Chain A
Amino acid sequence: DGGITQSPKYLFRKEGQNVTLSCEQNLNHDAMYWYRQDPGQGLRLIYYSQIVNDFQKGDIAEGYSVSREKKESFPLTVTSAQKNPTAFYLCASSMWGTGGTDTQYFGPGTRLTVL
């Protein structure tokens, strides 16, 4: 079954700690994306990658970092520099790098809570 997996589903972090959220896809898609979702604000783009070994900042990249060493994987690290990290994080992928016109498919999300 092709799809996008995110782990863990729930994640708790103490202030000052870095945490890494996993995103894996077996759809053979070139592009991958990370979004942050807060109540009443829709989805905001954190980072995106159109091809392996390349990624770009989105609208709210401060306090986050990513890597794209393999086509299937696009992990997101939430660093201690992110002032308000508690949110629902969604990973997505699309067949090509034109994410504005190409359909994006979403994973089930990770809910991060900072204690």
Chain B
Amino acid sequence: AQSVTQLGSHVSVSEGALVLLRCNYSSSVPPYLFWYVQYPNQGLQLLLKYTSAATLVKGINGFEAEFKKSETSFHLTKPSAHMSDAAEYFCAAGLNDYKLSFGAGTTVTVRA
């Protein structure tokens, strides 16, 4: 069965520092991969989506993610954190069926 692991339930970064959120998936077939962001008491907003067209995917708000098949990873990065990046981030994976499998989420705190 498909599963998604996000390493680190909480990440704290200084404003202007690199943001790195880790995501690994388990699948013998490279899945479709997504990163979503959730602000408190709101729904999820799509940051970016990997569909096998390119291994480096650029998303909204300056985020990007790199697909590495050999490492079964899809880590999310942003070069310079902003206070508005404080939120919870979810990695999700899907195959050619109805279902997305979500990681447990990583909460990002940005220090001034």
A residues with a Cβ closer than 8 A to B are 4, 6, 31, 40-45, 48, 50, 56, 58, 88, 90, 92, 97-101, 103-109, 111
Contact = CB atoms under 8 A, between A and B. Distances in A.
Nearest to A3: B43
A100 B104 contact: no
B108 to A, nearest CB: 15
Given A90-B43, A104-B100, 9 more contacts: A43-B102, A48-B98, A88-B41, A99-B94, A100-B98, A106-B43, A108-B42, A109-B41, A109-B42
Contacts of A101: 32, 51, 94-96
Contacts of A90: 43-44
Interface of B: 4, 9, 31-32, 34, 36, 41-46, 49, 51, 90, 92, 94-100, 102-105
B102 A98 contact: no
A48 B98 CA distance: 8
B99 A42 contact: no
A45 B41 contact: no
A97 B97 CA distance: 8
Contact of B96 (A41, A100, A107, A109): A100
A98 B104 contact: no
A37 to B, nearest CB: 9
Contact of A103 (B31, B49, B97, B105): B49
B43 A42 contact: no
Nearest to A10: B41
A100 B49 CA distance: 12
Nearest to A91: B43
